[in-house]
Structure 1
Amino acid sequence: MNDHPTPEDLLGPVDFLVIEFPDGKPSGAGFESVLELSRNDTIRVLDIEFVRHDEQGDLVVLDAAELGSDDRLADLAGAGSGLLDDEDLHTLASLVDASSSAAVVVYENSWTARLAADLEAGGARLAAVGAVDVDDLDAAVGD
């Protein structure tokens, strides 16, 4: 009997991306990378939502299947899980220009769960996970 957790027992760090489409028309450009990372089990996509604000400023959630003929977007249809509620989506959509639309991608860094399981099986443990502040990173790397 194995007393150590498996990667399926653990959840890696969860992050999100807000991808802005300045012309208001979502395209599938770049989403091949998201799909490839998911197929390779590097990440697990937990939610993808496409949003925009209408003329009155109200949130509109767009269906990926209805975004046009781009097959890369059609592959994302049904990926929305409801993890993000309307308040979350409104807040994240407000980060982009009012005339833009956006994709919000919530994903688990599943590779970290595999690492943690392997470490625990070897007698170690992952003690902390964190993010480096972008401003601090820019300052450290310099221009």
Structure 2
Amino acid sequence: MAVGPVEYLVIAFPGGRFTGAIAPALAEAVASKAVRIIDLTFVYRADDGAIEMVELEDLDPQELVSFEPVEGEITGMLNSDDIRKLGERVPPGSSAALIVWEDLWAVPLTEAVRASGGQLVAHERIPADVAEAAVSAAGSTR
């Protein structure tokens, strides 16, 4: 079974307030089959730096994204130590959503690469600020 790239994203919400404003965009990505959510975890980093994992049932259900859970248990990607380390990057007094997803759009490409005998040599993300600056600069020269 081919698997698309699996990525994670940590989104901090200053003041410790997750409003759910990202839920519609995430739900749209899931509904369009562009991604499959593998894990969704929330953390809160207190002003003193202490990190607390927030259970889904403790959040307002209106603010959550409905997604089909992965069949079977997927382990070995992020554990509680990983989550704690990522939580340390969240500013004190903030909450954060940690989203792990599979890029389903890439599965056909993965299958085609394998079928042709190709192999992935590198896969990196260009930092958002660098990409935005490059696109903005290109737009200003048109």
TM over 0.5: yes
Matched residue type, 1:73: L
Tell me the percent identity: 27
Shift of 1:96: 1.7
Q: Which residue number corresponds to residue 104 of structure 1?
A: 98
Counterparts of 1:74-85 in structure 2 under 5 Å? 75=66, 83-85=77-79
Q: Which moved more, 1:50-59 or 1:101-110?
A: 50-59
Counterpart selection for 2:25 from 30, 33, 57: 33
Runs of 5+ in structure 2 lacking a partner? 138-142
Query: 3-state SS of the aligned residue for 2:16?
Result: coil
Q: Secondary structure at the match of 1:89?
A: helix
Tell me how far 1:60 sits from its aligned partner. Answer: 1.1
Aligned-pair CA distance for 1:89: 1.0
When normalised by structure 1's length, the TM-score is 0.72
Q: Which amino acid aligns with 2:124?
A: A
Q: Structure 1: any 5+ residue segments left out of the alignment?
A: 1-8
The aligned runs of 1:14-53 (5 Å cut-off) are 14-53=6-45
Aligned CA distance change for structure 1 residues 55 and 138 (closer, same or farther; 3 Å)? closer
Residue number among 85, 88, 94 corresponding to 1:91 in the alignment: 85
Q: State the Cα RMSD in Å.
A: 3.0
